[in-house]
């Protein structure tokens, strides 16, 4: 009886998730993550300090 009681929340969450995925238009998590990474890279490239060529020559 202990395993059923301990996994009840997991089973109910799975069933609710399946119901929602079948009956509603849920966005793809993979596509959403890729969009977020693309936007983060774009922001990083936009606000990055420009490379200083004099500093590079001193390091060699």
pLDDT attached to residue 56: 55
pLDDT attached to residue 54: 61
42, two tokens? 């774009």
**pLDDT means per 10 residues in the chain (60 residues)?**
84 94 89 93 86 60
| pTM recorded for the entire structure | 0.46
Q: CB–CB of 41/48 below 8 Å?
A: no
- Cα radius of gyration (the chain): 24
- HEC letters along the chain: CHHHHHCHHHHHHHHHHHHHHHHCCCCCHHHHHHHHHHHHHHHHHHHCCCCCHHHHHHHC
């Amino acid at each position: 009886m202990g395993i059923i009681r301990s996994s009840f929340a997991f089973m109910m969450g799975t069933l609710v998730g399946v119901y929602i995925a079948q009956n509603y238009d849920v966005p793809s998590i993979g596509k959403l993550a890729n969009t977020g990474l693309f936007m983060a890279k774009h922001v990083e490239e936009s606000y990055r300090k420009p490379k200083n060529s004099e500093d590079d020559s001193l390091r060699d």
